[in-house]
Amino acid sequence: MTIQFSSRVANLKSSFIRDILTASQQPDVISFAGGLPDPRLFPMSALHQASEKVFQTWGGCAFQYGATQGLEVLRAYIAENLIHDVALTTDQLMITTGSQQGLHIVAECLLNPGDGVIVEAPSYLGALQVFASTGASVHSLQSDAEGPLMSSLESLLKTRRIKLIYCLPNFQNPTGKTYSLSRRQELSALLKNYPEVILLEDDPYYSLSYTGPSLPSLFSLLPGQSVRLCSFSKSIAPSFRLGWLQASGHLLGRFLKYKQIADLHSSGFLQALLVEFLQMDTLDSHLRRLREVYANRLDLMTEVLTTRLGNQLVFAKPSGGMFLWCQLRNPALNSSLLFKQAMAQKVAFVPSQAFYATHPNYGALRLNFTHSDDSKIKEGIHRLAKLF
Amino acid sequence: MTIQFSSRVANLKSSFIRDILTASQQPDVISFAGGLPDPRLFPMSALHQASEKVFQTWGGCAFQYGATQGLEVLRAYIAENLIHDVALTTDQLMITTGSQQGLHIVAECLLNPGDGVIVEAPSYLGALQVFASTGASVHSLQSDAEGPLMSSLESLLKTRRIKLIYCLPNFQNPTGKTYSLSRRQELSALLKNYPEVILLEDDPYYSLSYTGPSLPSLFSLLPGQSVRLCSFSKSIAPSFRLGWLQASGHLLGRFLKYKQIADLHSSGFLQALLVEFLQMDTLDSHLRRLREVYANRLDLMTEVLTTRLGNQLVFAKPSGGMFLWCQLRNPALNSSLLFKQAMAQKVAFVPSQAFYATHPNYGALRLNFTHSDDSKIKEGIHRLAKLF
């Protein structure tokens, strides 16, 4: 029997990264591959207290079916305490089952086959897969150190039927790049001339800035025309599978209808646990500790890389996030082939090929610096150095 | 600015039931509308113990990113202890974010616009909405007391390009009907002649049989060609948003790829909590208690209905599940209009109109008997009786 799958999934490949992750999860491999936080830094004791509070004071109501949009008290906390650059009501927020679900919902609600989507090159693989499944036409944007080039964006907007622009303005995955303030302003000013285009701002690393306060979100500069996705996966813990989506009402209403058919609502128990955790007022001190440790690991990794591999790799040190993007100086080298040699040395990274929708580039490596401790960072770079 | 939404959601209506649920959640309304379990019966103390165990023994690894397919130990428990009619390996199981997500994934992976789907008339509204969003052509099946009529099914299979058949064989939502053993056998025998058609068996109420052991699942009679969805929402608690999907490998592999883009994976913390709860071996005694209470409520509701409304309503007492389907004896009455009068009397139900993909029927009411206690059941039926 041959099953005819839908066109959505007929060509959907398993995530290259997930395959690499599986390979790199052998216990003796030092993995810089996954986008994983360090589980030793999860706020376990505060989460445990929060869980006790839910069992003691919420009781059965935390375990019943709930509203698709998410708990009002959680949305109110987010609006008041976690969004500083724009005033939002709880009506403009929706709780999602991780920000991956937010991405999927927005794409499903806005994209018909053939519609144009603009992405950065390179960009987050999970987003490229979502866009591919909708049958949209994906166009790649050129960038410099400050963010997307306006000339490249305007030329696409003028010549293609564009519906959506997907941006990661803070500590981009995979490059670690952050858009400058002036580039954010230019981008939102340009998009005001194309009111039918929606800007999708993916901001999962917003709480991981190592050099001071974050710049204003694109959403705050273009509120009626944009959607912002945030996650608790990097700031608290991934397995909560909780994030939020910001959008104006005319968009959010449609997203809610789609979320209803996708999973009814996100876990009310986990939302209650998150509310109790947030109300303990330990998030700020937790994030300060997280940023301190991760910033030190980034410092260490860039130092060791410069010493051991400075003649082989070029990188710009990111100001936040989880990733360091290292370009190979030797244009004859291919990072996908290098990956196989690296696995033989028991060290893993993600080769650049994975992050391109069109015209793959084989000339770079994505290294995660948040999951491994200092000694593993040193040993892992030492193993990497043997490849050259 | 006018947003052009995708064709998936352009015509997606907000669930009529969700609107009714909102109306019926006023505190002085007695609601037989929602498909809600009684939160006073959630196994809170065992869940609390299980949560303690996760914090004490699993630690950070329960909070990290996890595998898309779900925890191996949870899938092994399900295969060994919760599936009795067919031998499955953990490879044939996938953990879903509620069985609603299972439904969404199967539909998205199998249905292109225009593909044919067969549903019972009436059927679960959440499934009808999912099928509508894919652009599939939905065809309604005729049934009798034993389940779908084979003549009706065969005629659709012969004349339409059918891809999927959606069945709720146990205590169907909304009718409470259960397919007889012989009808299950006829159905699977017939479908063997149509190997390109997938049977989607939705079985959320499998643990709520009030009259003895369940009949063999359709999946067990047609394993290579069917997908079965189960849920922990009715047996443990809805807010876990955990269910499972059974399918053979060639189907499951594709579903996994789609789940990966939809939400990466279901909460690992909740899966760990569920594993600890299940390993306490209290599920059976919990389910015995649940079935006892719910069966008593069903007895009470049918008694009071017979006494108070026997001359107005006809119903067949279901052998399990959560719903009683009451047909109006007077063909001139319309249950959607009756609903408005009921709300004035502070009692709610779901009018039959909501459950039809084609040719709506206005002649019945769906009453939930699991959420209200005895005194509310009596008072609610008393209020209903005032409408006639």
| Set of chain A residues whose Cβ sits within 8 Å of the Cβ of B37 | 64
| Set of chain B residues whose Cβ sits within 8 Å of the Cβ of A64 | 36-37, 39, 237-239
**Chain centroid offset of residue A194 CA:** 26
Q: Quick one: closest CA in A to B35, which residue?
A: A65
- Which member of B51, B126, B263 has the closest CB to residue A261? B126
What mean pLDDT is reported for chain A? 95
Taking CA atoms, B96 is separated from A5, B239, B385, in Å, by 20, 13, 41
Mutation site for B-interface testing, chosen from A163, A260, A261 by largest number of B Cβ within 10 Å: A261
pLDDT of amino acid A1: 57
Round to whole Å and give the CA distance between A259 and B130: 11
Q: What's this model's pTM, rounded to 2 decimal places?
A: 0.97
Q: Comparing C-alpha atoms, which of B196, B187, B193, B145 is closest to residue B167?
A: B187
Q: How many CB atoms lie within 10 A of CB B388?
A: 15
Q: Quick one: closest CA in B to A271, which residue?
A: B239
**Chain centroid offset of residue B307 CA:** 30
The pLDDT of B165-184, averaged and rounded, is 98
| Structure tokens, B43 | 């196994």
Q: Is A59 in Cβ contact with B8 (below 8 Å)?
A: no
**Residue A310 pLDDT exceeds 60:** yes
| Set of chain A residues whose Cβ sits within 8 Å of the Cβ of B25 | none
| Structure tokens, A272 | 């209650």
**Residue B248 pLDDT exceeds 70:** yes
Mutation site for A-interface testing, chosen from B2, B4, B5, B48 by largest number of A Cβ within 10 Å: B5
B204 contacts B99 by C-beta, under 8 angstroms? yes
| Structure tokens, B7 | 């064709």
State the pLDDT confidence band at A298, using cuts at 50, 70 and 90: very high
Q: How many CB atoms lie within 10 A of CB A341?
A: 13
pLDDT of amino acid A22: 73
- Which member of B51, B100, B261 has the closest CB to residue A126? B261
Q: Is B37 in Cβ contact with A196 (below 8 Å)?
A: no
| Set of chain B residues whose Cβ sits within 8 Å of the Cβ of A34 | 65
**Residue B14 pLDDT exceeds 70:** no
B329 φψ region: left (φ > 0), alpha (ψ -120 to 50), beta (else): alpha
| Structure tokens, B33 | 């509308």
State the pLDDT confidence band at B259, using cuts at 50, 70 and 90: very high
Round to whole Å and give the CA distance between B32 and B370: 9
| Set of chain B residues whose Cβ sits within 8 Å of the Cβ of A265 | 241
What mean pLDDT is reported for chain B? 95
B51 contacts A20 by C-beta, under 8 angstroms? no
Question: For B197-223, how does the pLDDT look when each residue is reduced to its tens digit (9 = 90+)?
Answer: 999 999 999 999 999 999 999 999 999
Mutation site for B-interface testing, chosen from A3, A41, A94 by largest number of B Cβ within 10 Å: A3
pLDDT of amino acid B9: 84
Q: Comparing C-alpha atoms, which of A347, A357, A368 is closest to residue A13?
A: A357
Q: Is A258 in Cβ contact with B12 (below 8 Å)?
A: yes
State the pLDDT confidence band at B111, using cuts at 50, 70 and 90: very high
**Residue B2 pLDDT exceeds 80:** no
- In one-letter notation, the amino acid at residue A18 is R
Q: Quick one: closest CA in A to B21, which residue?
A: A67
Mutation site for A-interface testing, chosen from B21, B235, B239 by largest number of A Cβ within 10 Å: B239
Mutation site for A-interface testing, chosen from B11, B95, B109, B263 by largest number of A Cβ within 10 Å: B263
Q: What is the DSSP letter of B320?
A: B
| Set of chain B residues whose Cβ sits within 8 Å of the Cβ of A226 | none
B34 contacts A66 by C-beta, under 8 angstroms? no
- Compute the nearest-CA separation of B51 from chain A (Å): 8
State the pLDDT confidence band at A370, using cuts at 50, 70 and 90: very high
Q: Is A61 in Cβ contact with B18 (below 8 Å)?
A: no
For Cα atoms A378, A382, A384, give the angle at the middle one, nearest 5 degrees. Answer: 120
Q: Is B129 in Cβ contact with A64 (below 8 Å)?
A: no
Question: For A6-42, how does the pLDDT look when each residue is reduced to its tens digit (9 = 90+)?
Answer: 888 876 776 666 677 777 778 899 999 999 999 999 9
Q: Is B48 in Cβ contact with A39 (below 8 Å)?
A: no
pLDDT of amino acid A18: 67
**Chain centroid offset of residue B318 CA:** 15
Q: Comparing C-alpha atoms, which of B86, B56, B85, B61 is closest to residue B73?
A: B61
pLDDT of amino acid B26: 83
Q: Is A44 in Cβ contact with B163 (below 8 Å)?
A: no
Grouping H, G, I as helix, E, B as strand and the rest as coil, residue B143 is strand
| Set of chain B residues whose Cβ sits within 8 Å of the Cβ of A241 | 97, 263-267
Q: Is A251 in Cβ contact with B264 (below 8 Å)?
A: no
| Structure tokens, B283 | 């599920």
pLDDT of amino acid B229: 98
The complex scores an ipTM of 0.96
Q: Quick one: closest CA in B to A236, which residue?
A: B63
- Compute the nearest-CA separation of B310 from chain A (Å): 32
Q: Is B48 in Cβ contact with A4 (below 8 Å)?
A: no
Q: Is B233 in Cβ contact with A13 (below 8 Å)?
A: no
Round to whole Å and give the CA distance between A175 and A202: 14
| Set of chain B residues whose Cβ sits within 8 Å of the Cβ of A12 | 254, 257-258, 261
Three-state DSSP string of chain A: CCCCCCHHHHCCCCCHHHHHHHHHCCCCCEECCCCCCCHHHCCHHHHHHHHHHHHHHHHHHHCCCCCCCCCHHHHHHHHHHHCCCCCCCHHHEEEECHHHHHHHHHHHHHCCCCCEEEEECCCCHHHHHHHHHHCCEEEEECEECCEECHHHHHHHHHHCCEEEEEECCCCCCCCCCCCCHHHHHHHHHHHCCCCCCEEEEECCCCCCECCCCCCCCHHHHCHHHEEEEEECCCCCCHHHCCEEEECCHHHHHHHHHHHHHHHCCCCHHHHHHHHHHHHCCCHHHHHHHHHHHHHHHHHHHHHHHHHHHCCCEEECCCCECCEEEEEECCCCCCHHHHHHHHHHCCEECEEHHHHCCCCCCCCEEEEECCCCCHHHHHHHHHHHHCCC
Mutation site for B-interface testing, chosen from A239, A254, A270 by largest number of B Cβ within 10 Å: A239
Q: Comparing C-alpha atoms, which of A286, A121, A291, A141 is closest to residue A206?
A: A291
Q: Quick one: closest CA in A to B51, which residue?
A: A51
Round to whole Å and give the CA distance between A161 and A159: 7
Looking at the DSSP bridge assignments, the partners of residue A201 are A167, A228
Q: Comparing C-alpha atoms, which of A196, A203, A208 is closest to residue A166?
A: A203
B171 contacts B178 by C-beta, under 8 angstroms? yes
| Set of chain A residues whose Cβ sits within 8 Å of the Cβ of B61 | 39
Q: Is B13 in Cβ contact with A110 (below 8 Å)?
A: no
Positive or negative torsion for Cα B49, B55, B59, B60: positive
B277 contacts B43 by C-beta, under 8 angstroms? yes
pLDDT of amino acid A15: 64
**Chain centroid offset of residue B337 CA:** 26
Grouping H, G, I as helix, E, B as strand and the rest as coil, residue B217 is coil
Question: For A41-73, how does the pLDDT look when each residue is reduced to its tens digit (9 = 90+)?
Answer: 999 999 999 999 999 999 999 999 999 999 999
Q: Which residue has the tokens 């007889």?
A: B180
Question: For B35-53, how does the pLDDT look when each residue is reduced to its tens digit (9 = 90+)?
Answer: 999 999 999 999 999 999 9
Round to whole Å and give the CA distance between A86 and A88: 6
Positive or negative torsion for Cα A343, A121, A360, A126: positive
Q: Is B44 in Cβ contact with A267 (below 8 Å)?
A: no
Helices (H), chain B: 7-10, 16-24, 44-53, 72-77, 98-110, 125-134, 150-159, 181-191, 218-221, 249-263, 268-279, 283-309, 335-344, 374-385
Q: Quick one: closest CA in B to A101, which residue?
A: B263
Terminal CA-CA length for chain A: 49
pLDDT of amino acid A24: 72
Round to whole Å and give the CA distance between A308 and A380: 11
- Which member of B2, B63, B239 has the closest CB to residue A239? B63
Q: Is A15 in Cβ contact with B260 (below 8 Å)?
A: yes
Q: Is A15 in Cβ contact with B266 (below 8 Å)?
A: no
| Structure tokens, B346 | 């502070």
